[in-house]
Structure 1
Amino acid sequence: MYIAAAVLSVILALVSLAAGAPKALLKGDVSAGLQSHMGLSAGFVRFIGLAEVVATVGLVVGLFWQPLGIAAAVGVTVTLVGAVVFHVRARDYANPENRGNASAPVLLALVSVATVVTLNLAM
């Protein structure tokens, strides 16, 4: 079970880092889109990005100390559920142009829940 937990943790960490770094630096289209389309402030976008980067560190360290990995995976799950809520409010799931991007947090939330479960079972 530990191998599955480690693989899911690494996948989630890589995705979290790839998503969080541009937001933390306020670089790229995603940060601009969150500010213009979703109406989020630059400070809130940066906060989300920093939380994702910190979660990356927690997931990697959690490979060696599982309670931290579990906490980081739970934090990622909460962040992704928040992203789904924002996409629902922006009506992105009803818009075919935005539906693909809005579906990513749903899929990743499922991966993060699976990570939490497998880390708990591996303890």
Structure 2
Amino acid sequence: MSVVAAIISLLLTLTFLGMGAGKVAGIEQMRRSADHLGVPPGLNRSIGVLELAAAAGLIAGFWIQSLGLAASIGLVLLMVGAVYYHVRARDPAGQLLPPAGLGVLAVINAVLLGLT
């Protein structure tokens, strides 16, 4: 794993550990955001579990690179879904940037992991 991929993997891991745990725990801010986007509570918790699983896969990717690659691809798909929900809610472009940026980072990570 390259140094750049390792740094991106670590950043994505920390981000999605926090976001996934918040969704699974049902933190108020996460519930309000899901309500705004029209995401049902059960789906929001499921997304949180997937985010935690991706974080675990990114960590495992330090030893088994294919798991890190799979986790990165999963995060790309989750962020495509997040952007879709923000667009559907007619959020301003500024609210699309965080999931889009995280999705781009996950794409870069997947490409870097796939190349090595």
Q: TM-score range by the shorter chain?
A: over 0.9
Please report the TM-score for the alignment, with normalisation by the length of structure 2. Answer: 0.94
Cα contact 1:22–1:31 (8 A) shared by 2: no
Greater Cα shift, 53-62 or 99-108: 99-108
Tell me the residue number matched to 1:25. 25
**Residue 103 of structure 1 is aligned with which of 68, 84, 97?**
97
Q: Scaled by the length of structure 1, what TM-score is found?
A: 0.89
Describe the SS at the equivalent of 1:64: coil
Question: For residue 116 of structure 1, what is the aligned residue in structure 2?
Answer: 110
Give the SS at the match of 1:40: coil
Contact 2:26 2:45 in 1 (8 A): yes
Partner of 1:96: none
Any gaps of 5 or more consecutive residues in structure 1? 94-98
Q: Give how far 1:26 is off.
A: 1.0
* Aligned partner letter, 1:23: K
1:87 aligns with 2:86: yes
Q: RMSD between aligned alpha carbons?
A: 1.2
Find the counterpart in structure 2 of residue 12 from structure 1.
12
Give the ranges of 4+ consecutive aligned residues of structure 1 lying more than 6 Å apart after TM superposition: none
* Amino-acid identity (%): 38
CA deviations on 1:17-65 (whole Å, 9 max, x unpaired) are 1111100111131222212x11211100000111001100000001110
* Paired residue total: 116
* Structure 2 contact 86–95 (Cα < 8 Å) conserved: no
CA apart distance, 1:106: 0.7
Q: Following the alignment from structure 1 to structure 2, what is the Cα–Cα distance between the partners of residues 107 and 15?
A: 12
Distance 1:111 1:121 in 2: 15
Structure-2 residue corresponding to 1:64: 63
Gaps of 5+ in 2: none
Other-structure match for 1:76: 75
